[in-house]
């Protein structure tokens, strides 16, 4: 079975409410879709969001990278030669990790279909069910309290709260949310690089002292500020989770060797796909450091690739895979089932999500 054709198109899915972080505001999931077709006619599908503020990629750059460089590089390769395909994908151009991730997951989808197994079983298959958190956007406090209570009423027991103004308001937000949702709900804090190191230590300690008891604090300072990450990790009890500081396996090694984080947030759009993410899992296993599997603003297709990876590796103990829960509609047949916070893996071959409709001529 050889790769006969790789094509791209676009999809646009409205969000239930605008997604706001310290870095941006987004109204819909407008992503690139990829179809890798084998000479047998079987297809694998992938997806990439344009997260310019994090990966530097746009809809145009992702499509150009795939259409003009990746597709001609991989065409004709045997789909069973996953190792060969992934090495060529890595080497054909630098960066462009989201474009690579979309093709990587489409190749894995096709490979698992060729093997007749759901992808998570090929990746290790330790889990059939995951529980995801839900993101609460940064807004005025009363709005965030309302959104948090609505999330709890939808069944979510873990909330990831976006902060990032870097003042007492961030502490007040977390106190108000903790008081509203009660002690039984897990609260994660994501500053999206919005704080300075000493300020972060002060804010996190204030949250600890006020009884907010955050499970973790994600990326408090700038991605490149590893000294700041190290200072915070050493100074507070709350575990520090590296997100924007972690793209590839080399970053994971640096973070863990220098004690600049307690936990790692893996996202396929940063690593360049499942193949590279598996390297981070291996490094994390060596250091005994647990991982979260996260997503950008992705629809069910890309999130499901992440779901299969998370279900396949026991070092991934946390799922921040709420993309489908944030979308107003689900246009795709098949794949894992998303029911509030519960994600149940499909037993059908591949990733299981059918994006064929988007490529209909
Ligand atoms: Mg984050």
Which one of 100, 113, 160, 267 is the catalytic residue? Answer: 267
- Decide if 267 is catalytic: yes
Report the helix count and the strand count for the chain, using DSSP H and E.
15, 14
Q: Fold match between 3-116 and 121-344?
A: no
What is the pLDDT, as a whole number, of residue 337? 97
**Which among 16, 43, 9, 1 is positioned nearest to 326, based on CA atoms?**
16
**3-116 — its CATH code?**
3.30.390.10
Distance 69 CA to ligand 1 centre (A): 30
d(CA 247, CA 244) in angstroms, rounded, equals 7
Distance 20 CA to ligand 1 centre (A): 12
Residue 36 dihedral angles phi and psi, to the nearest 5°? -105, 115
d(CA 45, CA 7) in angstroms, rounded, equals 10
Task: Name all contacts of 331-338 with Cβ < 8 Å and 24+ positions apart.
Answer: 331/11, 331/13, 331/299, 331/357, 331/358, 332/299, 332/300, 332/301, 335/300, 335/301, 335/304, 336/300, 336/304, 336/307, 336/308, 338/300
What is the pLDDT, as a whole number, of residue 24? 82
Helix (H, G, I), strand (E, B) or coil at 164: coil
Distance 113 CA to ligand 1 centre (A): 32
86 to 61, 223, 282, 326: CA distances (angstroms): 20, 26, 17, 31
Distance 357 CA to ligand 1 centre (A): 31
What is the pLDDT, as a whole number, of residue 126? 79
Which one of 100, 113, 160, 162 is the catalytic residue? Answer: 162
Q: What is the pTM of this model?
A: 0.96
What is the pLDDT, as a whole number, of residue 264? 98
Per-block mean pLDDT, blocks of 10 residues, the chain (361 long): 98 92 87 98 98 95 98 98 98 98 98 97 93 95 97 97 90 98 98 96 98 98 98 98 98 98 98 98 98 96 98 97 93 97 97 97 75
Task: Give the pair of three-digit tokens for residue 137.
Answer: 């956007």
- Decide if 162 is catalytic: yes
- The structural domains of the chain, with segments of one domain joined by +, span 3-116, 121-344
Tell me which fold the domain 121-344 belongs to: TIM Barrel (3.20.20)
Distance 71 CA to ligand 1 centre (A): 30
What is the pLDDT, as a whole number, of residue 40? 97
What is the pLDDT, as a whole number, of residue 189? 98
């Amino acid at each position: 079975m050889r790769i006969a054709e790789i094509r791209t198109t676009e999809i646009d899915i409205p969000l239930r409410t605008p997604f706001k972080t310290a870095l941006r505001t987004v109204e819909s999931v407008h992503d690139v879709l990829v179809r890798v077709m084998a000479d047998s006619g079987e297809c694998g599908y992938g997806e990439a969001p344009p997260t310019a503020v994090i990966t530097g990629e746009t809809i145009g750059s992702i499509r150009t990278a795939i259409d003009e460089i990746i597709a001609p590089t991989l065409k004709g390769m045997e789909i069973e030669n996953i190792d060969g395909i992934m090495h060529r994908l890595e080497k054909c151009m630098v960066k462009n990790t989201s474009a690579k991730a979309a093709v990587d997951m489409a190749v894995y989808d096709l490979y698992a279909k060729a093997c007749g197994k759901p992808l998570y079983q090929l990746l290790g298959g330790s889990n059939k069910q995951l529980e995801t958190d839900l993101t609460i956007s940064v807004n005025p406090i009363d709005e965030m309290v309302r959104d948090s209570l609505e999330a709890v009423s939808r069944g979510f027991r873990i909330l990831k709260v976006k902060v990032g103004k870097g003042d007492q308001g961030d502490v007040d937000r977390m106190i108000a949310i903790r008081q509203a949702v009660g002690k039984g709900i897990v609260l994660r804090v994501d500053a999206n690089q919005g704080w300075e190191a000493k300020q972060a230590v002060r804010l996190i300690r204030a949250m600890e002292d006020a009884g907010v008891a955050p499970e973790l604090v994600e990326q408090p300072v700038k991605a490149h500020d590893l000294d700041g990450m190290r200072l915070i990790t050493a100074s507070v009890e709350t575990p520090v989770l590296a997100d924007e500081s972690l793209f590839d396996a080399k970053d994971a090694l640096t973070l863990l060797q220098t004690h600049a984080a307690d936990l790692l947030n893996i996202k396929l759009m940063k690593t360049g796909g499942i193949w590279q993410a598996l390297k981070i899992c291996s490094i994390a296993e060596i250091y005994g450091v647990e991982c979260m599997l996260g997503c950008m603003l992705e629809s069910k297709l890309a999130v499901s690739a992440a779901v299969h990876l998370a279900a396949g590796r026991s070092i991934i103990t946390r799922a921040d895979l709420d993309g489908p829960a944030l979308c107003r509609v689900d246009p795709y047949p098949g794949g894992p089932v998303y029911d509030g916070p519960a994600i149940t893996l499909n037993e059908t071959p591949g990733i299981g999500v059918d994006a064929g409709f988007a490529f209909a001529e």
